[in-house]
Amino acid sequence: MATQPRPAAAPNASAAPAAASASAPAPSAARAGLRGRLSQAARLQLAAAWQSYGTAAYAAAAVTAVYLLWRFMYGMTSTFISVNEKLAEYGLMALSLALVLLGALYVRWRLAVSPAAVYRQALVKLNTHPGVLEVMGAPLVGSPVRAYVVTGGGVYLSKKLRIKLRARRIQMMFPLSGSERKGLVSLEAKRKKVG
């Protein structure tokens, strides 16, 4: 039977761990800091992957939705109605493709920001603001020339690694003229959460 050699005991073994624990952070605080850094690194890696492959993920989700909807509709149709196999396959495939595309267009429409609507709302607010009317003169008229940039939208990961929708923003500039003065309007609008 072989025996394991034991390390030699330090002369003041009980004092060494106490001194080391006083200068080092507590193990739970070190683990929490490490966990926070690891989750931040994972979130950054997932965000970079989504930035690179987000379009492919949308396309794969759409193809999967079309396939599942097609198989469901084909199974339901063959249960209740006896039809030609090829006619049912192609017809239901076209119907499921159309339904998925209509669903995607509806979601895009609900999340979009209309520059014309933002322009109209800005003119209404400017024409009802007493300070602006006092400085520029009563009938405020906008210009058909306007510059705008729409940013935002899309999906991102929150700090708790949850999928969230980023709100759309619009930044717009247009000339404004009143009876007394002319000016330049610069605004930023953000889409309110839907639903």
Specify the higher pLDDT residue, 141 or 31.
141
Q: Could you tell me the pTM of the whole model? A: 0.56
Q: Span 110-127, mean pLDDT? A: 90
pLDDT attached to residue 132: 92
pLDDT attached to residue 105: 87
Condensed to tens digits (0 to 9), the pLDDT of residues 130-167 reads 999 999 998 899 988 999 999 887 777 777 778 787 88
**116, 118, 124, 128: CA torsion to nearest 10:** -160
Decide if pLDDT at 174 tops 70.
yes
Q: What are the residue ranges spanned by the domains of the chain?
A: 30-111, 115-190
pLDDT attached to residue 122: 93
Q: Range with the lowest mean pLDDT among 58-62, 67-71, 84-88?
A: 84-88
**56, 58, 64, 66: CA torsion to nearest 10:** -120
Tokens of 73: 């509709």
pLDDT attached to residue 104: 86
Decide if pLDDT at 173 tops 50.
yes
Return the H-helix or E-strand segment holding 119: helix 115-128
The alpha carbon of 73 is separated from its chain's Cα centroid by a whole number of angstroms, namely 31
pLDDT attached to residue 119: 94
Contacts of 176 (CB under 8 A, 6+ apart): 126, 136, 140, 141, 142, 143, 182, 183, 184, 185
